[in-house]
Structure 1
Amino acid sequence: MSAVGAAGADTLHIAAPYRDAAEMVPRADMPHGTLQSFIMNSAESRSYSGIRQLDNETTRRRDAQGNRLAAIADQQSEPAPYRREVFVYIPAGYRPGTKAPLLVVQDGRDYAARVAAALDSLIAAHRVPAMVAVLIQSGGGDAQGSERGLEYDTVSGRYAEFVEQEVLPQVTRLYGVRFTSDPEGRATMGGSSGAAAAFSMAWFHPEWYRKVLSYSGTFVNQASPVDPQTPHGAWDYANHLIPEAARKPIRIWMEVGTHDLHWQDPEDSFHNWPLANNRMAVALASKHYDHRYVVAEGAGHVDADVVMHTLPEALEWLWRDYPR
């Protein structure tokens, strides 16, 4: 990776071939953590009772670029139950009851094996602290009107509160794992809408989370239901939320592919992923946030090769000054 000053001192451009980082294949002679899972049902949740996206004339409407158009909640969704799987990575040598650093990961099933592999290698080499990872599956569906969209694309602290009040206590009860209350020892990660959720967790609750890892963040107009305070959804982070707020104690590593979703769409679509992430990087730089922005040439949306190439470096960068 090499810095490119034209895009800012905190911007890196990387290019193919995107080879798997050596740390993504843990050695047989190193300690390995455990990866387990449990199920959470919507009937047990105080935060999210469950919805699903309707298929009707309203939800089939699209703009000129093929993006869904906003609609009021009862026109695009209906109540529906869900089952949510939660994966828990516990590092080798963890002593039950010890308060551990925490990594929360959205769309947990997609990342469980990769995060476990990276953490095994990095922890064994003392390059990151021995942390517990809680990898949470969404309630299902995608985009406006879905349970996943409600959880991840809503610009609020609601999802962070769900994790704090419902998910983490379950992990403690089932596995005897405790988490540090130091926000510098708590990170959150995701790809696409899961990355937008990760940023929202830290933005609205920096007293809980101060490290964010984002792949192809959905910092676009995809929130539902529409909030008058943020009419363009997560696009409004760069539009006014970051510029107008005092700098928060957040560190963020973020990546986007040059051929990410809707990369040729105009700015006024509010739905171009490379442009949205670039706007985020500019806004963060203007307020002197501790951030790294990685632009992956030729890469697509949450590009699997890019994740395998960069995940260890991203985790190490985020945790670089935390006690081992």
Structure 2
Amino acid sequence: MRFLPLFTALVAATPVFAIDDYKLGPDSQPQDVPHGEVKKAVFDHSQIFPGTTRDYWVYVPKQYDPAKPACLMVFFDGGGYQKPNGGTRATVVFDNLIAKKDMPVTIGVFVQPGIFKATEPPAKDRPNRSFEYDSLGDANARFVLEELLPEATKGLNITPDPNGHAIAGASSGGIAAFTVAWEKPEAFRKVVSWIGSFTNIRGGYVYPSLIRKSKDAPKPLRVFLQDGSNDLDNLHGNWPLSSQDMAAALKFAGYDYKFEFGDGGHSGKHGASIFPDTLRWLWRDWPKQ
């Protein structure tokens, strides 16, 4: 009992951190730098996902010069990423890092998953997100490459170098981003996957095995993974274990990868807090412009 006051004092002096206690840093705050322009549009004529409609946004940095090819980065579930006051504040981070030349001049395409519009009340719109994002195969990759990007980037000078093309997403969007690059490395070679759903929603748990089997001929991908120890654990699988399995497979097969594992849950807080450094890592060897 004589140690109780000392123990109490030590506990009182020890800082207590909550789960998901991640904050946005200065690179995620608006600064006195040139600001890019964001335009919204609707894509409603897909042949690959017929009957769907979706919003998308295109960010063009102030430094974009039509005479010089720009890099490209696509975001799934893009509605939140492109908001200057949203969780990730991607366009704010782009503004700041492009101004510092910490990343190249990059066009951002932020696309929502498809929905089937309700024909009459009281019916509601029906989402197509899981089918598009969680499914294996090349359907979503073909949608991005054959349908969305030709329209979204029309008139813009995008580098043809696949090393200048990145794709990102969270949760089901995270596995979707990986799937696009895995299926089409000739088009996308940089991946950012936050809290990716590499579980058995629609078969995504097979990726660690596929990655390991590619050891003798690894795909030319650079992959950034993020997850947290308090992520989901449900009938589809355990997200923290699945992400660790992905990271172990990428290491085994010799891929260029980075894995940030924190204590967060199924949220974008951790990914958003490290997004500026994620981009620096992703573009670390791209020529300065």
> How far apart are 1:119 and its partner, in Å?
0.4
For 1:94-116, what per-residue CA distance to the aligned partner results, in whole angstroms no more than 9, with x for missing partners?
12364310001000002112110
Q: Is structure 2 residue 287 aligned with structure 1 residue 323?
A: yes
Q: Which residue of 1 aligns with 2:212?
A: 243
- Counterpart in 1 of 2:228? 257
1:152 aligned residue (121, 126, 133): 133
2:272 is aligned, of 308, 315, 319, to: 308
Task: List aligned pairs for 1:1-324, cutoff 5 A.
Answer: 17-27=21-31, 29-41=32-44, 44-50=45-51, 82-96=52-66, 98-113=68-83, 114-140=89-115, 147-173=128-154, 176-223=155-202, 233-238=203-208, 240-245=209-214, 246-262=217-233, 271-297=237-263, 299-303=264-268, 305-324=269-288
Question: Which string of whole-angstrom CA distances, capped at 9 and with x for unpartnered residues, describes residues 284-304 of structure 1?
Answer: 01011111101111x11133x
Aligned to 1:227: none
TM-score by length of 1: 0.75
Gaps of 5+ in 1: 1-14, 51-81, 224-232
Deviation of 1:150 (Å):
1.4
Whichever residue aligns with residue 188 of structure 1, its letter is: I
- 8 A contact 2:226–2:271 mirrored in 1: no
Aligned length: 254
Give CA-to-partner distance per residue, 1:129-173, whole Å, 9 cap, x none.
0100101100149xxx95111111111122111111111111233
Give the superposition deviation at 1:83.
2.5
The alpha-carbon distance between structure 1 residues 45 and 290, as it changes in their structure 2 partners (threshold 3 A), is same
The CA distance in 1 between the partners of 2:67 and 2:146, in whole Å, is 18
* Distance in 2 (alpha carbons) for counterparts of 1:172 and 1:116: 17
Q: Give the CA deviation at 1:180.
A: 1.4
Amino acid at match of 1:292: K
What RMSD over aligned residues (CA atoms) do the two structures have, in Å? 1.7
Identity, in percent, stands at 37
Amino acid at match of 2:267: V
Q: Partner of 2:192: helix, strand, or coil?
A: strand
- What is the rounded CA distance, in whole Å, between the counterparts of 1:179 and 1:301 in structure 2? 33
**Contact persistence 1:253–1:314 (CA under 8 A):** yes
Q: Any unmatched runs of 5+ in structure 2?
A: 1-18, 84-88, 117-125
3-state SS of paired residue (1:85): strand
